[in-house]
């Protein structure tokens, strides 16, 4: 299993987009579901595009509207993997530390696979699936609407 994962990561990195292909930095709201789909979260996301070569810094903050819902701060490092020709759509992967801020302070790691879908101008959608490792939510699915800066 680890060998297959390593080969998959190497193949994805081979098709990585160049830094020049990245869009501008952006800020936007996000929303989605935690865990088994019964816990809504809202948040905000910032993309600092191509600041570290082909890796971008993408911090975000998510909170739940309920009193028991967790608040999570993420600091992901994103790598755009595969652009779909003639569409502007790009797949991405990211990883980074996450901090659960509700109740006790808990730390973990988030791994994300996503899809960046362009709109008119500098706006775009991000659709992603996030896995949490450690003491943060195990699974998240969400969408963000990003507005270029």
Instruction: Per residue of the chain (149 residues), give pLDDT as tens.
Output: 444 444 344 434 434 433 333 457 899 999 998 876 668 889 999 988 765 667 889 999 998 876 566 788 999 999 988 889 988 899 999 999 999 887 778 899 999 999 999 998 889 999 999 999 988 878 899 999 999 88
Instruction: Please provide residue 37's backbone torsions phi and psi, each rounded to the nearest 5 degrees.
Output: 90, 10
Instruction: List C-alpha distances in Å: 117 to 89, 136, 145.
Output: 5, 27, 10
pLDDT of 92 reads: 94
pLDDT of 127 reads: 96
* Residue 114, token pair as written in the block: 């996503």
Kindly report the pTM of this predicted structure: 0.76
pLDDT of 24 reads: 78
Domains plus CATH for the chain? 2-148 (2.40.160.20)
């Amino acid at each position: 299993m680890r060998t297959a994962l390593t080969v998959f990561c190497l193949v994805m990195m081979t098709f990585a987009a160049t830094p020049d292909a990245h869009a501008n930095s952006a800020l936007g709201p996000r929303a989605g579901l935690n865990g088994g789909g019964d816990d809504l979260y809202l948040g905000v996301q910032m993309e600092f595009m191509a600041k570290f070569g082909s890796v971008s810094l993408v911090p975000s903050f998510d909170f739940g509207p309920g009193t028991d819902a967790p608040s999570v701060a993420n600091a992901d490092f994103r790598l755009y993997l595969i652009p779909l020709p003639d569409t502007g759509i790009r797949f991405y992967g990211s990883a980074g530390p996450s901090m659960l801020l509700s109740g006790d302070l808990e730390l973990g790691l988030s791994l994300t696979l996503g899809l960046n879908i362009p709109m008119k101008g500098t706006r775009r959608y991000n659709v992603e699936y996030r896995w949490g490792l450690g003491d943060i939510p195990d699974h998240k699915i969400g969408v963000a609407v990003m507005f270029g800066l």
